[in-house]
Amino acid sequence: PEDLRSRAIMLAGHLFDLADGRGVKEGMVKAERLLQNGSAWGQFKRITEAQGGQRSLGEARFRRPVLCSESGTIVSIDNRRLARVAKLAGAPASSTAGLRLLATVGDRVTKGEPLYELLSDSPGQQDYALAFNDMGPAIFTVKREE
């Protein structure tokens, strides 16, 4: 959660710099201030209301945990491969298909522990996504503890 927050502030800083030319650092300070005083949340609510309001996501018909193959600490996640798995599962065409991450960089994991849950609306899409997951390099890189 903290790494996501830091990344969001950094990206917002760049956007503010593009808009007003005052520099990324100043933009990051502004983004932090808007988060802290609640202005960002208020704007988010106005945007979602303009788009029809917040809605709950439906439930995928098929769910499968993808398990860790070894114990250790997660040191990286290949987001491109992860996005490809989600797409093969049916996202974004299906609003219920995709992935639910259960672990992130820095987490200690044990062999057999779920890393993410694959969500799909058909067994064919699920099988296709799982087959792609099993091919090529690992999506989650785990450094073994010695």
Tell which CATH architecture fits domain 62-144. Answer: Alpha-Beta Complex (3.90)
Kindly tell me if the per-residue pLDDT of 70 is higher than 80.
yes
- Per-residue pLDDT tens over the stretch 18-65: 999 999 999 999 999 999 999 999 999 999 999 988 877 789 999 999
Whole-number CA gyration radius for the chain: 19
DSSP string of 31-50, one letter each residue: HHHHHHTTHHHHHHHHHHHH
Q: Which residues make up the CATH 3.90.1170.30 domain(s) of the chain?
A: 62-144
If we measure between CA atoms, which residue out of 71, 39, 60, 58 comes closest to residue 125? 60
If we measure between CA atoms, which residue out of 56, 60, 54 comes closest to residue 96? 60
Kindly tell me if the per-residue pLDDT of 130 is higher than 70.
yes
